[in-house]
Structure 1
């Protein structure tokens, strides 16, 4: 499977919900075919905080919320730079750290109330195979 095929995936139920909402939100696009669909990798935490930290197992890989955080770059850019430079104030380091305490818990995230829609769910094994 090529990389472009792997990234052209979103769960069918999510695509269906998106399609159902188009007539209300963007009626002129409601009947058009999708060129491709992709999952937006959103780093949610139980506290609703950003993750701006180095990966705990990979020293040289800093991490932050992906595509959706791009819109926050004017506000968060200096903090991301401070993370790279290892000069981020300790209070923010603590708040935005890569947390591992929930790693083996069943489901510790119930949402921070800022987004509507269906409850969080894990990908099925079949969906994981498409990633």
Structure 2
């Protein structure tokens, strides 16, 4: 799931809540990112390790940095509810129904066969 913001991501603290059917993952992160790109800015409470966030632009100036989106390491979900806060302001509150399809990145008949779904969250 990719995030598409209509303007630059503001500096400061972010909180994310990703609900995969009945499983809830909460994450927190801050911008600006570590300029050395060695330290991950976002941490999640996710005992099953299903959700992974991407950070974008650590070597760029702070106004070009963002949280690029997140990936879910499961195809056994029917609904994804996402909330995103900056400080205490709710920026995103959306429910998505993933549509999974088998993709073959190396061409038809070639391994691997990847079951994937994607969507964009615009705010």
Q: Greater RCO between the two (CA within 8 Å, min separation 6)?
A: 2
Greater helix percent: which structure?
A: 1
Q: Is the shorter-chain TM-score for this pair beyond 0.5, marking a shared fold?
A: no
TM-score, structure 1 length as denominator? 0.22
TM-score, structure 2 length as denominator? 0.23
Greater strand percent: which structure?
A: 2
